[in-house]
Each structure stands twice: as structure tokens, then as C-alpha cells.
Chain A
Amino acid sequence: AQSVAQPEDQVNVAEGNPLTVKCTYSVSGNPYLFWYVQYPNRGLQFLLKYITGDNLVKGSYGFEAEFNKSQTSFHLKKPSALVSDSALYFCAVRAYNAGNMLTFGGGTRLMVKP
């Protein structure tokens, strides 16, 4: 079975400071990892994914994520946070043999204060 843990319910950061949203996963075989963002009363918006290759993945809106196989982590990062980044962030994993089935973490609310 596959699972995702997002250990922080909320992350608070000041505008302009770097941000990190943590994610760890458990899956059989090679993992396919994703980050999505959800704004109030909206669906999920795709940010970035790791399939294979370079451990540092760059995505939309200046976000990036670092895949660490030994620590089974896929933390989301951004060098300089914006107030508009405030939203709910979800990490998801898909096993290589799981079709399109994504398993999501519980989400982390990011609050960026001016």
C-alpha cells in the first residue's frame, strides 16, 4: 500500500522569506511524486512532479521540490514567498503499477504574512 505524510498542518512564513512544505512517502517500487495547490473553493492545481532523473524538480510559480530517495521525502520549496502563495498544498504519490490512482497526504496550509 502507498501512503503520504505531511507532518505539518500549517506553515507560517513571512513574505520574502524562503518556504518549505514537508512530505514523506511510502510506496513499493519507484515513486511518482506530485505537488498540487488548492485555493479556497477551488479544485487542485498541478505544481510539479518527479518521475525520474534530476532530484531537483522545478515547477510553476517559482516552486521547486527535492526528491530524496534515502529519506523517502519530496519537500516543496520556494526561495521567496509571496502573500499570494497562501493556500492548501497537497503532496501525492503514485506507484508505478497503480494506474492513475493518486494517494494524497492530508494537506498543509501555507500562510504567508506581509
Chain B
Amino acid sequence: DAGVTQSPTHLIKTRGQHVTLRCSPISGHKSVSWYQQVLGQGPQFIFQYYEKEERGRGNFPDRFSARQFPNYSSELNVNALLLGDSALYLCASSFGLAGGSGTDTQYFGPGTRLTVL
């Protein structure tokens, strides 16, 4: 079975531009989460989507937005790019919402490396 897939692999943009990153979850998984990993740091949570609704948001500005489609794939959009947005953007999928059971494991894709010049 295919794992989490992300596109594109690499992306180079200039300051002020807009970018769209895409993610396809593992088949059967309904939840997608997005993380930003700046070089030398651990990933930071950006968004969680479940059944096309936003279910969690990290401490990121409104320039960051996302959506989930009926087939559970997802897009992350970043407007007005800044140099500091340069990072590896990771998508993770899980079966459900996790909630209080804690049993849900998130499986990560290979990431999209965004470079902002």
C-alpha cells in the first residue's frame, strides 16, 4: 500500500509569492495534519483536518491556510511568503481524530522542501 504522498518534492519561491503544497493520505485515513520543520529543529504543528473540517491549529499566522477535500487529500497554502517560511513541510495522516483514545498513530510523508529567496 502507498504511504502518505506529498507534492512537489522541492519548491523555490521568492518573498511575497504564494505557494500551495499537496498531500494524499494513506488509503482509509480520514485525518490529515500539517507540520513545519525548520532546519535543525523538530516539527511544529500547523493544522489538523478531519472530515474536511479544521480540528486544530497551531501558532501560525493567518498567511497559512489549508483545506481537505472529499477524497481526504489536503492542500496547505501560504501567502505573502517570508524568508522564515523556508522549511520542510510535512504532512501526516491518521485513521481518525485520535481524541481521548490516543491510539491513533500519525504516519508522515516525505515532505516538501520550500526555499524562499
Contact = CB atoms under 8 A, between A and B. Distances in A.
A106 B92 CA distance: 18
Contacts of A105: 42
Given A43-B108, A46-B107, A94-B102, A101 B45 contact: yes
A11 interface: no
Interface of B is mostly: loop
A94 B98 contact: yes
B116 to A, nearest CB: 19
Interface residues of A, number: 28
Contacts of A107: 41-42
Contacts, number: 74
Interface string A35-54: 01000001111100101100
A84 B85 CA distance: 32
A104 B44 contact: yes
A102 B58 CA distance: 10
B31 interface: yes
Given A32-B102, A90-B43, A106-B41, A100 B108 contact: no
Contacts of A73: none
B95 to A, nearest CB: 10
A103 B16 CA distance: 29
